[in-house]
Chains A and B, each alone.
Chain A
């Protein structure tokens, strides 16, 4: 038995203190436990979603076949709507629900996919441009509101906080870019969404908690 001077305890059956890891000056006494094995030494194989993939491929494939066989010369590609919905469900389950990625990344991917889905629906429904005129700005504003709500109500590390700030700044620009590129014909929803994003970003910067501010000063020197 040896004495750990740091912890003030006597250590049995080990040459290091189990509390602090420091070596103890004494002969190793009787070992109190065997060298244990884990409950499940073999790592469990990660199950691949074969059934889900098969169902997706068969449904989308069948829809595509029916769509192409019946569309004629003027019909649309409605099978793309089905494919977009399935793609969204896959991301929802595999990334948003199951993955351990940062919340800001999950939320950004969700918003991005909803935008793509709206564009596909719009394109198939006659290209009325309602997706870029109104859909995308509304999704961006909704995303920013949700990000603000999460930041206000949940405790998070400084890296999580920065993630949400960056996502807000990025998503606020998407509607403006679509206006500048001439994709959107009505400008005010996009500009309103961008304004909301800038306002939220500045508020987040001003009212950030002390821990985030400390990290920002320490790492970025401002």
Chain B
């Protein structure tokens, strides 16, 4: 008897990604941990199989408007391509990759499958399985979805719909934002630059300014963009697009997407000094992440994506419409995405094996430099991905941060687009 493959509906946010993904906008993010010792591929393969049994809703391929269990064997691979490489959802059997290289274990996930928080949950289970395969006994401390547990329906629910009250809200278009321009890197690759440093110094620097870490880093980024990219002709505001985890406001344990985007606008005048930029960022971020504002953002997303007319139109027309909406309401109104994945919150028993974590968010055509933040074991990693040769804002950001925090920042890159050391 042939077992029917289980199908899972796409969540509200996931409906966007298959339509807009292409080589210049892959919609793939990466979460990694750098271990203290070299990765053992056989153990990782075993851990991956075990993890995917725990997360059957992640071992899926994309079908028309839904995800379908693949039933095919999964293989971990050694890293070869530049990070966040494109998935071809129609052809590929899985929408995630598990990669290894020397001491790094990476998970690359197509955004239709999960968001950053869901990805971290998956990665933590993978790490638990990996260390268990190697014979380490680690107390999960309730921080990990264990491989022996049964998957719950709430883990793959569409939490957008669960918390959507059916109210319609008008969608507002923000004015066009300043865009970072530059010479594209060769052959469509992506360059990543990571900066790793102790979190304590950053917390102290942020506290001195009366800000949180996210606010401080966002303000510094706006300041860096202003100093390195804006010239006299540009009068558009610098807009930082910050994904916000809705699980903090709406209790949900879904692994699927459950986030909203908050656009932080810093005018050209405010971005001219860190103090003014910080005031603007603090005001915007605190105002826009209040529960009622996030509820409104959820209504906006669901009101548009789950509208009966939108659901009724043929797929090819919906794809074209979504591409337009993405270009007009997302790409046109932002300068850069800054995604704070947050602390990986690993069990204490796992920390001695982990050096630091990394997170990388894909760049897009009009947002060619994007930034992602994460921390693990008291170390913060700021990761930049870029498709242009210019490194001005990144250089300014790290130089300023090194001076302000007093911490030693360790920087490394995948060298893509760098010829004989020439940046």
The reply to whether A14 and B415 form a contact with Cβ atoms under 8 Å apart is: yes
Are A39 and B193 CB-contacts (below 8 A) given A30-B102, A34-B101? no
Tell me if B398 and A7 are in contact (CB < 8 A).
Answer: yes
Whether B414 pairs with A33 at a CB distance below 8 angstroms is yes
Q: Check A12–B412 contact: CB distance below 8 A.
A: yes
Q: Does A38 contact B (CB under 8 A)?
A: yes
- The reply on B81 being an interface residue by CB < 8 A is yes
Assembly CA distance A34 to B130 (angstroms): 22
A203 to chain B, nearest CB (A): 20
Partner of A12, one of B80, B233, B411, B416: B411
Docked CA distance A196–B189 (Å): 49
Contact digits for B383-399, partner A, Cβ 8 Å, 1 yes 0 no:
00000000100110011
Set B23, B85, B410: member contacting A9, Cβ < 8 A:
B410
Contacts of A11 in B (CB 8 A): 410-412
* Contact between chains at A19 and B410 (CB < 8 Å): no
Q: Evaluate whether A15 and B421 lie within 8 angstroms (CB atoms) in the complex, with A7-B399, A10-B411, A32-B412 already known.
A: yes
A168 within 8 A of B: no
Tell me whether A34 and B79 are in contact (CB under 8 A).
Answer: yes
Shortest beta-carbon distance from B210 to chain A in Å:
25
**Within 8 Å of chain B (Cβ to Cβ): is A16?**
yes
- Decide if A72 is an interface residue (CB 8 Å cutoff): no
Would you call B82 an interface residue if the criterion is a C-beta within 8 Å of the partner chain's C-beta atoms? yes
- The residue from A14, A23, A37, A39 contacting B412, defined by CB atoms under 8 A apart: A14
Mark each residue of chain B from 64 to 89: 1 if its CB lies under 8 Å from any CB of chain A, else 0: 00000000000000111110011000
From residue B325, how far is it (CB to closest CB) to chain A in Å? 22
> In the complex the two chains form, what is the Cα distance from A192 to B138 in whole Å?
87
Residue of A nearest to B195 (CB): A9
Chain B residues in 8 Å Cβ range of A15:
421
The yes or no answer to B309 lying at the interface (CB within 8 A) is no
Q: Are A40 and B23 in contact (CB under 8 A)?
A: yes
Does B188 lie within 8 Å of A40, measured CB to CB? yes
CA distance A155 to B104 in the complex (A): 45
Asked if B232 and A211 make an inter-chain contact with CB atoms under 8 angstroms apart, the answer reads yes
A128 at the binding interface (Cβ < 8 Å): no
**Segment from B114-122, B312-320, B401-409 that makes contact with A:** B401-409
Residues in B neighbouring A1, C-beta threshold 8 A: 410
Are the C-beta atoms of A36 and B80 separated by less than 8 Å? yes
A13, A31, A34, A209: which contacts B233 (Cβ < 8 A)? A209
Q: Are B188 and A9 in contact (CB under 8 A)?
A: no
The docked-state distance in angstroms from the alpha carbon of A9 to that of B81 is 26
Kindly state the separation between the CA atoms of A36 and B101 in the bound complex, as whole angstroms: 11
Give A3's nearest chain B residue, CB to CB. B408
Q: Tell me if A41 counts as interface (CB < 8 A to partner B).
A: yes
Residues A36 and B414 in contact, CB atoms below 8 Å apart: yes
B411 / chain A contacts, CB cutoff of 8 Å: 4, 7, 9-12, 17-19
Complex Cα distance A8/B195, Å? 12
Residues of A within 8 A of B233 (CB): 155, 209, 211
With A36-B189, A39-B23 known to touch, is A21 a contact of B423 (CB < 8 Å)? yes
CA separation between A34 and B412, bound complex, in Å? 12
- CB neighbours of A4 from chain B (8 A): 411
Whether, in the assembled complex, A126 has its beta carbon less than 8 Å from a beta carbon of chain B, the answer is no
* A75 at interface by CB-CB < 8 Å: no
Cα separation A39 to B82 with both chains bound (whole Å): 8
CA distance A20 to B396 in the complex (A): 10
Query: Is there an interface contact between B403 and A8, defined as CB atoms closer than 8 Å?
Result: yes
Give the chain A neighbours of B188 by CB distance below 8 A. 38-40
Instruction: Give 27 pairs: A residue, B residue, CB < 8 Å, sorted on A.
Output: A10-B408, A11-B412, A12-B410, A13-B412, A13-B413, A14-B413, A16-B418, A18-B193, A18-B411, A18-B415, A19-B193, A21-B418, A22-B421, A23-B421, A32-B34, A32-B414, A33-B415, A36-B415, A37-B80, A37-B189, A38-B81, A38-B188, A39-B23, A39-B85, A39-B86, A39-B188, A39-B189
Top 8 closest pairs, chain A to chain B, by CB:
A16-B421, A38-B187, A33-B414, A21-B423, A18-B413, A8-B402, A12-B412, A19-B395
Given contacts A8-B409, A40-B23, 12 further A-B contacts (CB under 8 A): A14-B421, A18-B411, A33-B413, A36-B79, A36-B80, A36-B81, A36-B189, A39-B23, A39-B187, A39-B189, A40-B187, A211-B232
